[in-house]
Structure 1
Amino acid sequence: MDNITHSLVGALIGQAGLKRKTGLAMPALIIGANLPDVDAACFFWLDGVEHLGFRRGITHGPIAWVLLPLILAGALWWFDRWQASRGRRPKGRLPVHFGWLYALSFIAGLSHPALDWLNVYGIRLLEPFSSRWFYGDTLFIIDVWLWALMGFATWFSLRRERQGGEWRRPARIAIAVAVGYIGLNGAITAYQYDFEKSVDHGSTKIISPVPIQFWSREVLTYQENMIWSSTEWDGALKNPEAINRFCFDDCPGYPAEKVCDIAPVRALQNANPQVGVFLFWSRAPFAERASDGSVILRDARFYDPRARDRFSVALPDVQCSPLAPR
């Protein structure tokens, strides 16, 4: 999920009452909820799409669950002592308890991979013991409804606290509603997976949440060596002509001549690091013909012809091989 969501989760946990356990509890919760994304620093030394094979891995796995909160708790404990030694420690701050700092950092840190698992991007939950990707397919990576719920609840709780009222209850209610909302979305995805299996046993499906319309799902269907169709579902199948992004069987959404055989591209994964990393990360790879006849390697989960595509590898030296007739 995005870092606004992670930050709001940390803040809401604090407003539910845990921030009274120790001084610097809120920094421990908010920073801890974002700390696994320290792997974003890889952009400074990795080129192209190599970051796709590094992120959501080692800093999101079991070793990091233990070590990152320990580092954060130690840093906050030291900061409190440093301020005290210089006479700058705020008088209103609660006594700092290292054990509670670690516990809160640990709780917040665990919320991060739990949320990241919920979308179609995926997460390597067992890294470094296993590089397997896990996908929850439950929420879109930016969920404005969670923003609204948790943002309002945090603001309202803080306001009640300043006024001397009961401030824990709004946060606790919001946490319960958020958990229920996530459960509802999980049920929608599970229902759609069951429905797709009942009508089509031969194809692999990806049920992808869409922005804003949390009740809708995009259904990506895999056949042979390509992602070949994309339709949107909201309880009843919408007009395919209006919403197909990929369609290679006589529909206007995506012309068949733009699709290349991906097999020659797969053969390059050992020789071309960019291709190798992309295919390691990609859940729905397909090869698209560029305007000059070369190949662009893409992922159907994040393909939008109207926007700049950060999830692609251009292969100017590889000519598009047309798909064999079916």
Structure 2
Amino acid sequence: MDNLTHSLVGALLGQAGLKRKTGLAMPALIIGANLPDVDAACLFWLEGVGHLGFRRGITHGPPALVLLPLILAGILYGFDRWQAKRGQRRFGRPEGRLPVSFKWLFLLSFIGCLTHPAMDWLNVYGIRLLEPFSSQWFYGDTLFIIDVWLWAIMGFAVWFSLRREKRGKSGRWPAVSAILLSLTYILANWVLTNASFVPYGINQKVVPTAKNGLGPKPFIPTTQMIASPVPFNSFGRELISGQKNRYFVIPVNVVPSPWEARPITNRPCGWPNESELATGGSQSEAFLFWSRAPFAERADDGSVILRDARFYDPLARDRFSVALPKVKCEELPVR
């Protein structure tokens, strides 16, 4: 998920009561909830899509989820000691701060870090939860990467909770209520994702397309089905169906609508062989390691572009693609 969502999760946990455990509890929770994204630093040394093969891996796995909170707790504890030595001088320790406990700083940093992979798992991008012991990707297919409704629920609750505290009232119940409401919202979206498969048969290897009025429904050979959440519309999904290099998209909503499948691209190419893929070097390697629904598309100059069916919208397609300018597209018929 985006870092605003991660930060709001940490803030809600603090407002729910955890911030009373030790001084600097809120920084431990909020920074901890974002800390696994330290792997974003790879953008400084990895070019192109090289980051796809690195991110959401080693810093999101079990060893990092213990080591990162330990480092954060040490930094916060040291910061408190430094402020205490300054006394009444500028940047000295605030008088109202609770005593700082290293044990609680570590536990709260650990809790914050644990919320990060839990939230990241919810979308179609994927996360390698067991890195470095296993590089398997895990997908929740439950929420879009940026969910404005979660922003609204959690953001309002944090604001209202802090507002009540300023008035001398308890800020716990708005935070606890928002946590329960957010969990209910996430569960409802998980149910919707799984319900998206029902009209098409959960265990079917073929998916029916819309009737054309001229005969029986045609079928799409299928090896996987992905229910991809869409922005803003919590009730909508795009059902990505098909097999390697041949994917179709079926819009799915809670409100019944005619079944309608469309090819992911109108310019499909045959899948490149190993030597052709090798011309992309580390870029191809990183892309294919990350890709869940890869396909080849013809570029304007007749060469091949590798894309992923999950990120084919105009805003994302160029950021999740690899060009193979030396490979000539062998055009496939559009079904």
The aligned residue for residue 70 of structure 2 is: 70
State the percentage of identical aligned residues: 63
Aligned counterpart for 1:309 among listed residues 307, 312, 318: 318
Could you state the TM-score of these two structures normalised by the residue count of structure 2? 0.89
Q: CA deviation at 1:18?
A: 0.5
Cα distance, 1:45–1:227 mapped onto 2, change above 3 Å: same
Q: Aligned partners of 1:142 and 1:199: how far apart in 2?
A: 30
Q: Over aligned residue pairs, what C-alpha RMSD do you find? A: 2.0
* Mapped partners of 1:281, 1:313: distance in 2: 12
Q: Which moved more, 1:306-315 or 1:160-169?
A: 306-315
Q: 1:263: how far off?
A: 3.6
Partner residue of 1:251? none
Contact 2:277 2:324 in 1 (8 A): no
Q: Which runs of 5+ in 2 are unaligned?
A: 207-221
Task: Return the alpha-carbon distance in structure 2 between the equivalents of residues 71 and 80 of structure 1.
Answer: 14
User: Match for residue 30 of structure 2?
Assistant: 30
**Structure 2 counterpart of 1:281, from 287, 290, 303:** 290
SS at match of 1:232: strand
1:178 to 167, 177, 182: 182
Q: Which moved more, 1:189-198 or 1:30-39?
A: 189-198
1:325 deviation in Å? 8.9
C-alpha separation in 1, matches of 2:70 and 2:175 = 26
The answer to whether residue 281 in structure 2 is matched with residue 261 in structure 1 is: no
Q: CA–CA distance in 2 between the matches of 1:190 and 1:144?
A: 21
Provide closer, same or farther for how the CA distance between residues 214 and 98 of structure 1 changes in structure 2, counting only shifts above 3 A: same
The answer to whether the 8 Å contact 1:230/1:247 transfers is yes
* 1:69 partner letter: P
Q: Deviations over 1:53-104 (max 9, x none)?
A: 0000000000011100000000000000011112211111100000110110
CA contact (8 A) 1:39 1:59 kept: yes
Which residue in 1 is equivalent to 2:263?
247
- Aligned partners of 1:149, 1:259: CA distance in 2, in Å? 42
Letter of the structure 2 residue corresponding to residue 317 of structure 1: K
Task: Give the deviation of 1:324 after TM superposition.
Answer: 6.9
Q: Which range moved further: 54-63 or 263-272?
A: 263-272
CA positional deviation for 1:269:
4.4
Q: Please give the residue correspondences for 1:1-326 in structure 2 after superposition, counting only pairs within 5 Å.
A: 1-87=1-87, 88-198=92-202, 200-202=204-206, 203=222, 204-223=224-243, 225-236=244-255, 238=257, 246-247=262-263, 254-255=265-266, 258-264=267-273, 268-269=277-278, 272-305=281-314, 309-323=318-332
Number of residue-to-residue matches in the alignment: 315
Alpha-carbon spacing, 1:263–1:196, altered in 2? closer, same or farther (3 Å): farther
Structure 1, unmatched stretches of 5+, are 249-253
1:194 CA displacement: 4.0
Question: Alpha-carbon deviations, 1:229-284, whole Å to 9, x = none?
Answer: 1121113564677xx6x527xxxxx42xx100114368524972111110000001
Secondary structure in 2 aligned to 1:228?
Answer: strand
Cα distance in structure 2, aligned partners of 1:177 and 1:266: 52
Code of the aligned partner of 2:313: D
Closer/same/farther in 2, CA of residues 274 and 59 from structure 1, 3 Å limit: same
CA distance in 2, matches of 1:221, 1:84: 60
